Amino acid sequence: MTLDPFTTAGLVGLSGALLGIGLFGIVTRRNFILLLVAIEIAINAAVLNFVYFAAFASNPSSGLNGQSAAIVVIGLAATEIAVGLAIVLALNRIRGSINVTEATALKL
Amino acid sequence: MFLQDLASWAFLVPLLMVLSFVLVGFLGPYLKNWREGGWIAVVISGIAMVLGLLIAAGEMLSPGRYTDLHTTWISVPGNGTGVFPNGFSLVMGTLVDPISALMLIVVNVVGFLVLLYSIEYMQHDRGLSRYFAELSLFLAAMNGLILADNLLEFFLFWELVGVCSYFLIGFYYEKPAAASAAKEAFLVTRVGDVLFLLGIFVYFGAYATAGAAGGWAANGFLFVHGTNPYIPIGTGANPTLLTIGGLLILGGAAGKSAQFPLHVWLPDAMEGPTTVSALIHAATMVAAGVYLLAVASLFLGFTAADQFAIVAVGGFTTLFAATMAVVNPDIKRVIAYSTISQLGYMVLAVGAGFTMVGLYHLFTHAFFKALLFLAAGAVIHAVGTQNLFKMGGLRKVMPVTWLAFFVGALSLSGIPPFAGFWSKDDILSSLYGTLGAHPDYWPFFLMAVATVFLTAYYIFRAFFLAFGGDHPRDDSLPHGHDPSWIMKGPLMVLSGLAIFAGVFVFIPGFSNLLPGIGVPPTYTVTDILLSAMSVGLAGLGIGTAYVLWGNGRVFTLPDDSPLQSIRTVLLRRYYIKDAYDAFGQRVIYGIARIADFTDRFVIDGAIHGAERSFAGLNRRMRGIQSGVVLDYTAYVVAGLVVVLVVLLVIAPWLLSMWGGT
Amino acid sequence: MTIPILSLSLITLLVGTVACFAAGRWARYVALGTAVAFLVEIGWMISQFTWAGFGPTGVPSYSYGETYAWIHLYWLNINYSVGVDGLSLPLLLLTGILLLVTVVYSWEEKKRPSAWFALVLMTCLGCAGVFMALDVLLFFLFWELVLIPMFFMIAYWGGLRRRYAALKFFVYTHVGSIVMLVSLLVVAFYSHAPSFDFSAMYGPARALALVPQVFLFLAMLFGFGIKFPIVPFHTWLPDAHVEAPTGGSVLLAGLLLKLGAYGLIRWGLELLPQGLLHTQPIIFAVAFASIIWGAFVALGQRDLKRMVAYSSINHMGIVLLAIGLYSSLGITAAVLLMFAHGIVSALLFMVAGSTHHAFGTRDLATIRGITPKTPALATVTMVGALASLGLPALISFPAEFLALLATWDGIGYWVFVPLIMLVVTAGFYLWMMQRMLFGPTSGIPEDAHDLSQWEAAAMAMLVALTILYGVLPGLLTNVIIHSPLFGLP
């Protein structure tokens, strides 16, 4: 398979758009759960790129590198969600709210 | 033949004294009954003296230059550039030639006699093993210096004798004056050492530009390159560099030999034991400067400008130091000024081109000056003061010491047939001979002649004050007595040498050590008149001293005499030491204090200022640390943008600027 | 099969460090054993160089070299790569010697001895690694490793203002480290070297264009220079020394200052010779400033330790001068001087430590005439001071002499500047001896005691080495000249 410029542009555009949506969400959302959702979207932008470009790798083994990186990232994302939700629960128990702007105990 | 072959064993002479140093230094404290090892030092230096005399005898029988024992001390490959394109190696070796044989005699004979004398003289002092170990080390270094076969090796031992002198001047280290004098001696000679080292470098440069470097600069400046007899190897070298090199060597010699303006340390060095003054500060170490000038004049060559500078320094110092000896009340300091003055004669002779004449005076001076010091030492030992105005009438109670001092004084004054007469007369007549070609030497010749009168006057002033009259001026002093044979023996041997050393050069074999001196005298009428004049001046000096100070008289200047102010200036040593002290304490130490202040408050202050401004920045910037996660994510995104801009825009632009690949 | 002796000696130190932490009250024996084992290993290499004709052949090549792949990712090739030549071997010997004497000197350390000895070993591990490493990342790893134990040695065992001094030391040297790392990485990346290995960078780095070479060398001069230290970035040194415990001062002056000089030769001079040659005026200016400033400020000090610290600045200025000359004479002189300064400054800092220990102060205006009371301490003080001011037959003399000769060889009459400063150096040491050792005794407590046996043993070793290498400097120069540097044009 060879790289088709139009498909490539579309796909890179798609992943760029996903990343932008994710970043926008990360910067603007105050609800912790929505924040996690936005992070997931940004991560998926990277996964999409991995999978797409891996398909065009010149040799199969480096293609596999890309695929496996995608798997690793998905696994990482799942882990991150698990940890994140645990933090949400703890935060809710301590503060009674999951608004991230109120959790400022890390301030110097 | 046996005696000549001994020259290749010359390295044993310094090595024996190193052995003595180690033995006495480590075992001495456990050998209370042997004067804490003093006897070991005496025996070993006796062996070294015999060896040195035998080597000198071999040199007398067949004069020549014997070099031996070349070991490489440091060797570094070169990289094809600079003065040492083929690298540099410093070799250590021994060179026995007539003048080093002469020095071997001086150093080892005086050294042995002084060590023997010290056995009794020092017996009541603490730290005897330290004393004998340091004297042994000094003799080792001094022998190494005179046997050195290249200038760098010479410099190494030169520094070493300097530090031995430092130790020994400060022997009575509890006395603040001794500690201060030791420091002063080290620092002033250090100035000379720095000039000397730079002089060596300049000579390297002079010869390197002459293209001679390939052959011998790489071998560490061997002395052995001239052919017999003594042809300076300066031919073809850059004359400007040679002149500068010669002046710097003069600076080094002036430091060691206490010539003006680096003379201030020698009178203060009298804080050390009198035996040390006799050996180091009269006979040997201070003569090393003259020896350096002699070596340099033989092997390197001086230009006319150098010669004039050397003559000027020597001639001026001769008179300058003699004037200060005239008024001094301290018996040791009178002799110390006399040493500076006599060294001036030697420098004068070497500078005027009469190297051998200068060394001749060095030879005779070593004996009569050591004799004077040891006799003064016996006096101090007996009466417990150095103040001439408290002594008196010692002739009756110390006849042997009296005789010894008398012989030394006559020799110093230049009365025939004592040793000092021959060499001093030789200097004056040689110098007179050059006046036609060098009229600019006239003032220095006149200074040298005037000094003859002053010399006789000040030494006999001391002589009459100490020994004349019937009783001590200070009755509280202990009544003197002659020392025992351990001290009297060296005094007698040295008295003999002070009488006869001058005529040794007329012995056929001995004259080989001083080429050109020992030929049968072919005196012209001028020479005889000159001799008569100098003897007459010396006699006048003695007579003046007798009139003013003889038979227990004490001459006091009237208070309103205009000479009083001159006397004050002389007693204050022309204020030169005061000026140096002020320079050291005010200027140099002042700079140091300012530097310290700057370091603490300006340089470190700037750092602390930077720290404070960072702290202020911190206070202002800490608002950014809101603790709100969303703010942080915004910074992350902004950072990402900056990194992308740098990587994709700025970096390629920079790379294109530098023309990289 | 050849024995990987370099790795072996590093492992010796590593094992010793870990064992010390665990050894409790036996730590000092572990430390002593480690030091002796390390010295034996280094001594074996030295003897091979001296008598078996060992040594690098060709440019660049290193003896006892070992290279193992460490991190290989795409174009990123980081190796574990070590090797020695005549340049680094004397400094490794110095590391071993100072490790041994520090352990002996602080034999009776009461305050957490196991941690103390472990930190001493760790410092020496870092220094040994720096002297062996031939890979940028490995070099940096060891370089940073040195900071950590030294920080804790100052901050925990130090004097009254120890926290301030430790932090100042850390911040200063860390700034230097970062600049150094960045410039080394730029050299590696920008020259497209195939790996971070020294031999791999050697050709490409030397082929760099002049402008980047000059800028990169200046960055290295700053980065390594802070460790030297060079004026005006030197003020961390006196504070660190004054507050550091004696063992810390010994390692700080004896080893840590040498890291900067060694790094500048190995990674600056060898990789970027054009950069050095075109910045010579700057190097000389900085070196002269250090020489003059160090000497004069030392003259103005009242605290013995501060005086010795400033004299270190003066001596390291001469080292920088010798390096800047870019000649075989200069490099030999620089390495010899580093070795000499390591031994002598260690001795003088021990003197300062013992002085403080015996009299409760190091104030030269207070302590007078200690000789009758503490003759052994006075003797060692005198040897140290005389060695430092360049007395023949002691170790500094051949080093300073070669440095002056090289200076004269390289830049002619400018040699007058360091020569004149020799007088000032002599001045402050003589002044110190006159005040402290001579004259009537005053200002010291009645119960002042002389050196303990362990202090005396450590100092005696250093005095013996001072004399040994002073009389036979050829033992060292014959090793130093086994460097590929001497084949360079």
Spatial separation of the C-alpha atoms in residues B234 and B241, rounded to whole Å: 11
Min Cα separation B261/chain C (Å): 17
Cβ within 8 Å of residue C82, ≥6 positions away: C6, C7, C10, C64, C65, C66, C132, C133, C134, C138
List chain B residues with CB under 8 Å of A105: 627
Half-sphere exposure of B151 (CA within 13 A, CB side): 28
Give me the residue from C211, C300, C474 closest to B74, CB to CB. C474
- A13: domain range? 5-102
Give me the pLDDT at residue B53, please: 92
Dihedral angle at the C-alpha atoms of B636, B641, B642, B648, nearest 10 degrees?
Answer: 140
Window from B41-45, B203-207, C144-148 with minimum mean pLDDT: B203-207
Where exactly are the structural domains of chain C? 282-489
CB pairs < 8 Å spanning B and C? 153
More confident of the two residues C318 and A61: C318
Q: What is the domain count for chain A?
A: 1
Q: C327, C328, C335, C295: which is closest to C311 by C-alpha? A: C295
C190 contacts B592? CB cut-off 8 A: no
Spatial separation of the C-alpha atoms in residues C433 and B78, rounded to whole Å: 39
List chain B residues with CB under 8 Å of C211: 658
Give me the residue from C296, C329, C409 closest to B595, CB to CB. C296
Tokens (6 digits) for B291: 């020896």
Give me the pLDDT at residue C58, please: 64
Q: B372, B399, B341, B331: which is closest to B495 by C-alpha? A: B372
pLDDT greater than 50 at residue B219:
no
Give me the pLDDT at residue B208, please: 61
Tokens (6 digits) for B634: 């915004």
* pLDDT digit string, tens, across residues B407-444: 999 999 988 889 889 889 889 988 888 888 888 899 99
A26 inside domain? yes
**Beta-bridge partner residues of B91:** B72
pLDDT greater than 80 at residue B622:
no
Min Cα separation B591/chain A (Å): 47
Q: B286, B449, B253: which is closest to B365 by C-alpha? A: B286
* Nearest residue of C to residue B130, measured between CA atoms: C379
Average pLDDT of span B283-301: 87
List chain A residues with CB under 8 Å of B630: 26-30, 100-101
Q: C100, C136, C139: which is closest to C120 by C-alpha? A: C100
* Count of beta carbons in the 10 Å neighbourhood of residue A30: 15
Tokens (6 digits) for A47: 């996964």
Spatial separation of the C-alpha atoms in residues C159 and C152, rounded to whole Å: 12
Residue listed under structure tokens 């020092």? B122
Q: Which amino acid is at B357?
A: V
Contact between B45 and B136 (Cβ < 8 Å)? yes
- Which spans in C325-439 are helix H? 328-359, 375-388, 396-411, 416-436
**Residue C334 contacts B, CB cutoff 8 Å:** no
Label each residue of C50-119 as H, E or C: HHCCCCCCCCCCCEEEEEEEEEEECCEEEEEEEEECCCCHHHHHHHHHHHHHHHHHCCCCCCCHHHHHHH
Spatial separation of the C-alpha atoms in residues B165 and B192, rounded to whole Å: 15
Among B residues 569-628, those touching chain A with beta carbons less than 8 Å apart: 622, 625-628
Contact between B182 and B170 (Cβ < 8 Å)? yes
Terminal-residue alpha carbon distance, chain A:
54
3-class secondary-structure state, position B384: coil
Of the spans B396-400, B456-460, C368-372, which averages the highest pLDDT? B456-460
DSSP percent split of chain B into helix, strand, coil, nearest 5:
75, 5, 20
Q: What mean pLDDT value characterizes chain B?
A: 84
Average pLDDT of span B620-642: 81
Give me the pLDDT at residue B50, please: 93
pLDDT greater than 50 at residue B236:
yes
CATH number, position A92: 1.10.287.3510
Residue listed under structure tokens 């940096």? C140
Average pLDDT of span B574-601: 86
pLDDT tens-place values along chain C, 489 residues long:
478 889 999 999 999 999 998 888 889 999 999 999 999 999 998 888 887 767 666 666 788 888 888 888 777 788 899 988 888 999 999 999 999 999 999 998 888 899 999 999 999 999 999 999 999 999 999 999 999 999 999 999 988 888 888 988 998 899 999 999 999 999 988 888 888 888 888 888 888 888 889 999 999 999 999 998 888 888 899 989 999 999 999 999 999 999 999 999 999 998 998 999 999 999 999 999 999 999 999 988 888 999 999 999 999 999 999 999 888 888 999 999 999 999 999 999 999 999 988 888 888 888 888 888 888 899 999 999 999 988 888 999 999 988 998 898 888 888 889 998 888 888 889 988 888 888 888 878 877 788 889 999 999 999 999 999 998 998 898 888 887 777 554
Contact between C349 and C246 (Cβ < 8 Å)? yes
Q: B299, B297, B301, B270: which is closest to B286 by C-alpha? A: B270
C-interface mutation test, from B26, B72, B74, B137, most C Cβ less than 10 A away: B74
Min Cα separation B163/chain C (Å): 8
B129 — pLDDT class (breaks 50, 70, 90): confident
More confident of the two residues B122 and C75: B122
Spatial separation of the C-alpha atoms in residues B567 and B363, rounded to whole Å: 33
Give me the pLDDT at residue C393, please: 86
**Residue B629 contacts A, CB cutoff 8 Å:** yes
Window from B316-325, B407-416, B453-462, B464-473 with minimum mean pLDDT: B464-473
A108 inside domain? no
Give me the pLDDT at residue B601, please: 86
Q: What b-and-e string marks burial along B359-371, b requiring 16 or more CB atoms within 10 Å of the CB?
A: bbbbbbbbbbbbb
Q: Quick one: which H or E segment has residue C390?
A: none
pLDDT greater than 90 at residue B334:
yes
B256 — pLDDT class (breaks 50, 70, 90): very high
Contact between B162 and B178 (Cβ < 8 Å)? no
Contact between C305 and C361 (Cβ < 8 Å)? no
Q: B416, B390, B534: which is closest to B475 by C-alpha? A: B390
Q: C448 vs B92, C111, C200, C459, CA distance in Å? A: 45, 22, 58, 19
Q: Do A and C touch (≥3 CB pairs < 8 Å)?
A: no
Q: Which amino acid is at A23?
A: L
Q: C375 vs A103, B60, B250, C254, C456, CA distance in Å? A: 68, 48, 39, 25, 12
Tokens (6 digits) for C15: 């094992």
Angle at B353 between CA B351 and CA B356, to 5 degrees: 100
Q: What b-and-e string marks burial along B582-593, b requiring 16 or more CB atoms within 10 Å of the CB?
A: eeeeeebbebbe
Angle at C395 between CA C393 and CA C397, to 5 degrees: 70
Average pLDDT of span A34-52: 91
More confident of the two residues C392 and B212: C392
Cβ within 8 Å of residue A107, ≥6 positions away: B625, B626, B627
To the nearest whole percent, how much of chain B has pLDDT over 70?
92
Give me the pLDDT at residue B1, please: 59
Q: Tell me phi and psi for residue B616, to 5 degrees.
A: -65, -45
pLDDT greater than 90 at residue B64:
no
B406 — pLDDT class (breaks 50, 70, 90): very high
Label each residue of C213-263 as H, E or C: HHHHHHHHHHHHHCCCCCCCCCCHHHHHHHHCCHHHHHHHHHHHHHHHHHH
ipTM of the complex: 0.90
* pLDDT digit string, tens, across residues B166-201: 999 989 888 888 888 998 899 999 999 999 988 888
B635 — pLDDT class (breaks 50, 70, 90): confident
Give me the pLDDT at residue C104, please: 94
Spatial separation of the C-alpha atoms in residues B499 and C401, rounded to whole Å: 44
A32 inside domain? yes
Min Cα separation C375/chain B (Å): 12
Give me the pLDDT at residue C223, please: 93
List chain A residues with CB under 8 Å of B623: none
pLDDT greater than 90 at residue A107:
no
Spatial separation of the C-alpha atoms in residues B391 and B385, rounded to whole Å: 8
Cβ within 8 Å of residue C302, ≥6 positions away: C363, C364, C365
List chain C residues with CB under 8 Å of B190: 422-423, 426
B630 contacts A28? CB cut-off 8 A: yes
List chain B residues with CB under 8 Å of C415: 198, 201
Contact between C373 and C337 (Cβ < 8 Å)? no
Contact between B136 and B48 (Cβ < 8 Å)? no
pLDDT greater than 70 at residue B628:
yes
Give me the pLDDT at residue C435, please: 86
More confident of the two residues B34 and B656: B656
pLDDT greater than 90 at residue B120:
no
